[in-house]
């Protein structure tokens, strides 16, 4: 990822936490009403289920917030308000927890399922994280104005935490942010490329 795509990917990760943690509704982000946030979310969830990926303890995007959960506080800063707006341009699913056998092949299966739904697979990146076999895999997919990053991160050293995420953002919706808003969201990264 380079330049602007890299910055949006950083916000995508941050907004996935807001989106998933808040149990946000699935209103449309704009753009193609035939393929909006609801449709992207449904395809992500179906791909996750078909791939047999581990269950997440986080409420799913668009899913009901557990009854014993306290609603998140209203955004109090400009950056929090912008992150909430960015979440409205997103559809996501993620697992963060102890390593689970078969989760990396599960990401590959989820990508195959998404390709079956007309997502076009693009660039694939693999990075070595440590000397004990920890890696980060990222596969980019595109469909009708949406960009999806399928990621698997498994570090073998330290705490042994695994992260599996499928996060899509709608390009037209994200492009509604002004230059000043991007600076608030991304800080110094907004100045680059």
At residue 92, the pLDDT reads 93
Tokens coding 45: 């969830």
167 against 63, higher pLDDT: 167
**22 to each of 25, 86, 96, how far by Cα in Å?**
9, 13, 16
pLDDT tens digits, one per residue of 122-142? 999 999 887 777 889 999 999
Give the torsion sign (CA, 42, 43, 49, 54).
negative
What separation in angstroms does the CA of 5 have from each of 10, 11, 140? 9, 10, 11
Reply yes or no on whether the pLDDT at 4 is more than 70.
Answer: no
Task: Return the pLDDT at 150.
Answer: 98
pLDDT of residue 23: 33
Q: How far is CA 172 from the centre of its chain?
A: 17
The whole-angstrom separation of Cα 113 and Cα 101 is 20
Mean pLDDT of 32-47: 88
75-116 pLDDT, tens digit each: 789 999 998 888 889 999 999 988 888 999 999 999 999 999
How many CA atoms within 13 Å lie on the side-chain side of 108? 6
Band (38; pLDDT cuts 50, 70, 90): very high
> Is a pLDDT exceeding 70 seen at residue 171?
yes
137-160 mean pLDDT: 88
Per-residue confidence (pLDDT) for residue 2, from 0 to 100: 43
**pTM higher than the cut 0.75:** no
Structure-token pair, residue 39? 């449709």
Average pLDDT over residues 58-79: 60
Higher-scoring residue by pLDDT: 88, 167: 167
Paired residues of 7 in beta bridges: none
């Amino acid at each position: 990822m380079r330049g602007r795509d890299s910055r949006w990917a950083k916000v995508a990760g941050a907004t996935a936490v807001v989106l998933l943690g808040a149990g946000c509704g699935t209103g449309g982000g704009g753009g193609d009403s035939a393929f909006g946030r609801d449709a992207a979310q449904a395809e992500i969830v179906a791909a996750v289920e078909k791939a047999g990926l581990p269950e997440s303890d986080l409420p799913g995007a668009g899913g009901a917030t557990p009854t014993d959960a306290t609603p998140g506080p209203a955004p109090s800063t400009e950056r929090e308000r912008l992150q909430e707006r960015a979440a409205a341009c997103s559809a996501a699913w993620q697992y963060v927890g102890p390593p689970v056998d078969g989760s990396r092949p599960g990401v590959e299966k989820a990508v195959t399922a998404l390709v079956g739904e007309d997502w076009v697979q693009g660039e694939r990146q693999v990075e070595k994280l440590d000397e004990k076999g920890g890696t980060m895999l990222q596969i980019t997919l595109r469909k009708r104005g949406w960009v999806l990053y399928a990621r698997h991160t498994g570090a073998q050293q330290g705490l042994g935490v695994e992260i599996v995420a499928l996060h899509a953002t709608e390009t037209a919706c994200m492009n509604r942010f002004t230059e000043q808003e991007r600076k608030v969201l991304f800080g110094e990264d907004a100045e680059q490329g």
